[in-house]
Amino acid sequence: MKDAFGTPQSLLVLGGSSEIALATARRLVARRTRTVHLAGRPGPALESAAAELRDMGAEVHTHAFDALDPDRHEEAVGKLFTEGDIDLALLAFGILGDQERDEGDPLAAVRVAQTNYTGAVSAGLVCAAALKRQGHGSLVVLSSVAGERARRANFIYGSSKAGLDAFAQGLGDALHGSGVHVMVVRPGFVRSRMTAGLREAPLATTPEAVAEAIEGGLRRRADVVWVPGALRWVMSGLRHVPRPVFRRLPL
């Protein structure tokens, strides 16, 4: 069960080797979390994440999970909920793709969309149904400011996050009053493996800062969390910039 501050005792991470997810898990394990399920692509990244959390004293289980295989989501994810309540499910998987290359390779672009959007729709609905049955819990969805307004430089990734963001908001409304809380997290540019080598955007942040914001959002039972918080105001301004101007902005 979550405590008065929204800190979970059990955590499920989908996308178990995500740096943001791992930073969040570390933070939560340092508080109340004792059971962690890491679901992701089997491999050394997942195992080393598990080992790190185990060293902190958590009981960690790893599970194979593939966002691109929604046929198996019910089986792979749904069954985890039957072994005990899960207080927090963190949807953290996603790929950035390579915009320039993907524009000329529709199949690669579709892979970005399927991982970030349809994969999350399927896994999100499986989690939502299970959380609703247990009558409590949070579903935290890692969106991105890139989904707030599509930009020339990364609209394939951005559109997938836009879809995910809209989906998660709607899901939150659908689950309102069911005891289940859905929180959309919109980080800006996060310095991580995923963005290594990219030009850093203004208001760049770190996985640790995102983790801290998630913990704060859980405490407030927030619907949306921006990281850093200032992005909320920046983006609400950018949203209203006319297209011809927006197109020319060096974003």
Partner 1 sequence: MSAETVSVSGWGRTAPTSARIVRPRTYEEAAEAVLGCGARGGIARGLGRAYGDAAQNAGGAVLDMTGLDRIRTIDAQSGTVVCDAGVSLHRLMEVLLPLGWFVPVTPGTRYVTVGGAIGADIHGKNHHVSGSFARHVTALDLLSADGAVRTLRRGEPLFDATAGGMGLTGVVLRASVQLLPVETSLMSVDTERAADLDDLMSRLAETDHRYRYSVAWIDLLARGSALGRSVLTRGEHAPLDALPDRARRDPLAFRPGTLPAPPAFVPEGLLGRTTVGLFNKLWYRKAPRSRSGELQRISTFFHPLDGVPHWNRIYGRGGFVQYQFVVGYGAEGTLHRIVRRISERRCPSFLAVLKRFGSADPGWLSFPVPGWTLALDIPAGLPGLGGFLDELDEEVAAAGGRVYLAKDSRLRPELVGEMYPDLGRFRALRAELDPRGVFTSDLARRLAL
- In the complex, the smallest distance separating the C-beta of residue 141 from partner 1, rounded to whole angstroms, is 20
Nearer to partner 1, 41 or 219 (CB): 219
Under rule CB under 8 A, residue 173 binds partner 1 = no
Going edge to edge, which strands form the sheet with 10-14?
A: 59-64, 35-40, 10-14, 88-91, 137-142, 180-187, 224-227
Under rule CB under 8 A, residue 57 binds partner 1 = no
Q: Are 63 and 37 in contact (CB under 8 A)?
A: yes
Nearer to partner 1, 1 or 241 (CB): 1
Chain residues 81-100 in contact with partner 1, contact rule CB under 8 A: 85
Q: Which of 157, 167, 189, 226 does the annotation list as catalytic?
A: 157
* Cα–Cα distance for residue pair 99/197, rounded to 1 Å: 14
Which one of 65-73, 102-110, 128-136, 153-161 is the stretch in contact with partner 1 (CB under 8 A)? 128-136
* Cα–Cα distance for residue pair 95/83, rounded to 1 Å: 29
Residues 194-233, mask of contacts with partner 1 (x by CB under 8 A): ----------------------x--xxx------------
Residues 133-152, mask of contacts with partner 1 (x by CB under 8 A): xxxx----------------
Under rule CB under 8 A, residue 4 binds partner 1 = yes
Cα 41 from chain centre: 16
Under rule CB under 8 A, residue 31 binds partner 1 = yes
Candidates 44, 104, 107, 177; binder of partner 1 (CB under 8 A) is: 177
- In the complex, the smallest distance separating the C-beta of residue 84 from partner 1, rounded to whole angstroms, is 10
- To the query of whether residue 157 is one of the catalytic residues in this protein, the response is yes
Where does residue 133 rank: exposed (0-12), middle (13-18), buried (19+ CB within 10 A)? middle
Supply the residues annotated as catalytic: 157
